Chains A and B, each alone.
Chain A
Amino acid sequence: MDERDSMIGKLLDHYRIQAQIGQGGMGVVYRAHDEVLDRDVAVKVLATGTGEALGHDHLLREAQAASSLTHPNICTIYQVGKSGEEFYIVMELVEGQPLPALVGSTGLPFEVLARYGAQIADALAHAHDKGTLHRDLKGANILVTREGRVKILDFGLATRMGSELLSEVTRSYATLNTALVGTLPYMAPELLRGEPASQLTDIWSLGVTLYHAASGRYPFGGKTGFEISSAILSQPPAPLPASVPPGLAGVILRCLAKEPAQRFQRASEARSALETLQGATLAGREQPQADHRGPRRIVMRGIEHHNVREGDVLLLVGTTKGAFLLRSTPERKRWDVAGPYFHGHGVNAMVYDGRESRHRLWLATNSVLWGTFLRSSDDFGKSWTNPAEADVKFPAETGAALKNIWQLSLGEPTEPDVLYCGVEPAALFESRDAGESWSLVRGLYDHPHRPRWVPGNGGLMLHTILPRLSPAGRMYVALSAGGVYSSDDGMKTWTARNRGVRVTFMPEKYPEFGQCVHKIALHPARPERLFLQNHWGIYRSDDAGENWRDIANGVPSDFGFPVVIHPHDPDCVFVLPVESDEFRCTPDGQLRVYRTRNAGATWEPLSRGLPQQRAYETVLRDAMTTDELNPTGIYFGTRNGALYASRDDGRSWTRVVEGLPAVVCVKTIVVGRPRAARAPRAARTAAKHTKRPRAKHR
């Protein structure tokens, strides 16, 4: 190496060689300064003869292909050149440690490994998409920066393993060609058999890399090259330590399937699996995984999943053709869109259960063909349950069959394992074990009114559930067309609460029940007061639903679907009028939200940022909501697939996304503990009256 040291101080083209920073089979790596662009770079000067052995043209082609890769986890190649006899490659200077140096003898912590592994797999996926193989992925080629970012070196630069090199495998390990010493334990069996490198040999090498990082050992050991290659060809991997979680072990062993067809077929699949493990980490490993019915899981591939962090704001958007997750920071200026999840299935109900340190998304999928199923995800959408048996079933003696699930709601705060769903045909189901099992609420189903409830345009459905705020509180449900019902005794008995709500389509205008109520809402600070958007008519009750009075007071149409209360101001309410029962589009093609700040005494239109020409839109009953932050975010999605947001109480709106399928429901999540919101006086006062976290039961 003495002659190499003489490189220091030399100029290779316009790169001033400064210091040797590493050496390997292919050559020596120097830190150098690019005197034209005035930046530090790494220059790999190939060992004398390497260029000749491989053919300069070949090496140049490989390096050029690799230099087209731009990825945060791939060390960028800037230039390939020849100066005199020196063949060299100029690349990004990465300050970091080789992965094996971090591993130690017992392996990396699981969370760290899942994070690094996902980055490695993502880099491979990117390179494979560009038609570039790594060919020599191994620990020594993976650097980890101080910030925890993985950088893979030497993409595509590995020698093609010629037969003359392979013959060396049979020599003693100590005398192996130096290039092979580090490489052999990572080589796939088919490479040892002389077959060409492929995406699947890279995936094998990924498996060895992960195995080593997880355990500090190689899956196929031996004292000589012969022993190692024999083990690779014919032995199963040595057992992983029991401390490696089964999910991670599964990913590693799948990469290490002897038969290439049994491995992940694409690096992106391995990435998804590793990201799922990451998500599981965030969501907490203490989650009960057991479900005695053993629901299979669906891992969502082909979706750019969000890596959700504490404090992130998410929008859950259910549409007629699948669900979408939108992610932003607490500033909520930019939104990343992921989805569709369950594309082709209608997703009419979604909810987030963050109680008891869960991070669980729930949604209901409805297929015209295969029926309706509840599914949950503990990793923000990367994988979902796929229950073998339907969760929500009508008992045999009812003779009824589930058509659709229209609402998912969390139970009261004192019962963190309680969930509700509202279904079609109109009924309420309850789970008392955090969604493991569900049962029909007979008190409501057996109500004498039920046989006389009639379906509205969307079917006979129970669409709104307002769980009680305290054990002594009143619970409400709303169904179309039946009206509002409440229970004060833990859902045993139910009373119709529709006095004063007009039914335009019946001969009797004020019946006890039969109202086609579209939505009701309640603010926890004013539990005795409810707002109601009816099939014609906007109403308020000041006595816990005993009596209702019309508060439409000048809105251009009192037909509409959603009604939403400002989370920090119980007097501030939003509605979205549509023109009529027949037309059901925004009046005059102008998309306008109407807001009252005095509980319905007066209303004002809000249109800034919303389309005011040919915007024939409909906003469905669950497609409008708010978040819990301050300033609060207000969101609504339309039947034409646009999603709008306001961060200034509705004064101005921006279009977050367009072109989605018809939006059915929108809900929000602030992940983890919301930042302490500086609530206005009304809400602070309210907080004294109730300890309840603000439930989203719209």
Chain B
Amino acid sequence: MGIAIHIPGPLRTFTDGQTEVHLAASAGTVREALDQLGALYPGVRDRILTEQGALREHINIFVGNEDIRYTGGLLTLLPAGAVVTIVPAISGG
């Protein structure tokens, strides 16, 4: 069973408009899933992660209903069938 990643609107320009991307292979951690996503759709990775591989300050990632900041960050393990959601923070000015 693969993994589903929900893509927020501003990034769909890099996913051919898809709102959800399915990764067939099992990805061990959130970071690996993002690496796979970035390999499939260049453009997504650098908008979510800094060049040092850290999650951008105002981007949140949920596995199921849990914010990964509280479950091990990018090293959070993904169970089979996990649903990953990329959520831009409610912030601005």
Taking Cβ atoms with an 8 Å cutoff, the residues of A that contact B are: 293-294, 296, 298, 320, 344, 368-371, 386-390, 393-394, 396, 399-402
Contacts and interface: CB of A to CB of B under 8 A. Distances in A.
A394 B10 contact: no
Interface in B57-93: 58-59, 88-89, 91-93
B52 A399 contact: yes
Given A369-B56, A386-B13, A402 B51 contact: yes
Contacts of A388: 14, 42-43, 46
A400 B42 CA distance: 22
Contact of A296 (B43, B52, B92, B93): B43
A371 B56 contact: yes
Contact of B89 (A320, A344, A369, A386): A369
Contacts of A399: 52
B56 A370 contact: yes
Contacts of B11: 370
A401 B11 CA distance: 21
Which residue, B13, B43, B48, B56, has most C-beta atoms of chain A within 10 A?
B43
Given A296-B43, A368-B91, 17 more contacts: A296-B14, A298-B13, A344-B92, A368-B93, A369-B58, A369-B59, A369-B89, A370-B47, A370-B48, A370-B88, A386-B43, A388-B46, A389-B43, A390-B51, A393-B51, A394-B52, A400-B52
B85 to A, nearest CB: 15
A78 B54 CA distance: 65
B69 to A, nearest CB: 16
A183 to B, nearest CB: 35
Given A296-B14, A369-B56, A401-B52, A389 B47 contact: no
Contact of A293 (B14, B42, B48): B42
B46 A390 contact: yes
B50 interface: yes
Interface magnitude class on chain B: 20 to 34
A657 to B, nearest CB: 22
B50 A402 contact: yes
A393 B11 CA distance: 20
Given A368-B92, A369-B58, A390-B46, A296 B13 contact: yes
Contacts of B48: 370
24 contacts: A294-B42, A296-B13, A296-B43, A368-B91, A368-B93, A369-B10, A369-B56, A369-B58, A369-B59, A369-B88, A369-B91, A370-B47, A370-B48, A371-B56, A388-B14, A388-B46, A389-B43, A389-B46, A390-B51, A396-B52, A399-B52, A400-B52, A401-B51, A401-B54
A386 B42 CA distance: 11
Contacts of B13: 296, 298, 386
A394 B50 CA distance: 10
A272 to B, nearest CB: 16
Contact of B10 (A370, A396, A400): A370
A61 B74 CA distance: 64
Contacts of A369: 10, 56, 58-59, 88-89, 91
Nearest to B10: A370
Contacts of B58: 368-369
Contacts of A371: 46-47, 50, 56
Contacts of A294: 42
A177 to B, nearest CB: 43
Contacts of B59: 369-370
Interface string B1-35: 00000000011011000000000000000000000
B88 A394 contact: no
Given A368-B58, A388-B46, A394 B92 contact: no
Contacts of B46: 371, 388-390
Contacts of B88: 369-370
Nearest to A394: B51
Contacts of A386: 13, 43
